[in-house]
Amino acid sequence: MENIIEIANSVALDPKYHDVLEVVKGVRNGAVYGAKIRFPHALVMTFLFRNGTPKDKLRIVLKATRDHAKNLATFVFIYKSVIYVLKSSNPEKKSRDVDALIGGLIGGYYVFGRGGKSSVNQQIVLYVFSRVAMGLAKLAVKKNVVPISSAEGKSQSWNVFATLCWGIVMYLFRTDPDVLQVSMKNSMDYLYLDSNHWTSMKTLLWHNK
């Protein structure tokens, strides 16, 4: 048994296997992270807001957890495999910045694009999009696209992000409200349209309609 462990350790630490084992470890981490993130969220949201028996609710929780873990693990597998192939085909045997873009595009298409607009996929992609938008706002400040002094940069990047988000969403709500997510449109209808109308003091202050 000790010999088997020693052999396994020697393989794990052998530099020539490092790139391939990166893929293996990435898949493992994707599955574990997806399960840890999704399970408590799905458990709370399902048991609080879903109808059905406890058994039905538990089935929904486990399915959402499985889907999240599987999707992240699959994405990591595709992404790291693409990086490995591109690195191996590069004469310098080095990974380039553009390889990350290519890997992300391929993985994103096969897992989250072609995989369909499930509730799990939609939540993951929207989460990523919000972080991308925030990152781009910070990048605009960092690259001086937005003329702000370096001393103000960290705090002002949030200002840029918040300003653009609210400016764009209000413009879309006014011009093409049907393109917004239904729950968000309903909320905005309540805030910005319903507040324009009332028939008495009661519907002004007490009841919406």
Tens-digit pLDDT profile for residues 109-154: 999 999 777 889 999 999 999 999 888 888 887 887 766 655 555 5
Q: What is the mean pLDDT of the chain?
A: 88
pTM of the model: 0.80
**Three-class secondary structure of residue 200 per DSSP:** coil
| pLDDT above 90: percentage of residues in the chain | 51
Tens-digit pLDDT profile for residues 154-205: 567 778 788 888 889 999 999 999 999 888 898 999 888 888 888 888 878 8
Residue ranges covered by each domain of the chain = 1-116, 124-175, 176-209
Cβ-contact 107, 49 below 8 angstroms: no
**CA separation for the pair 42, 50 (Å, rounded):** 10
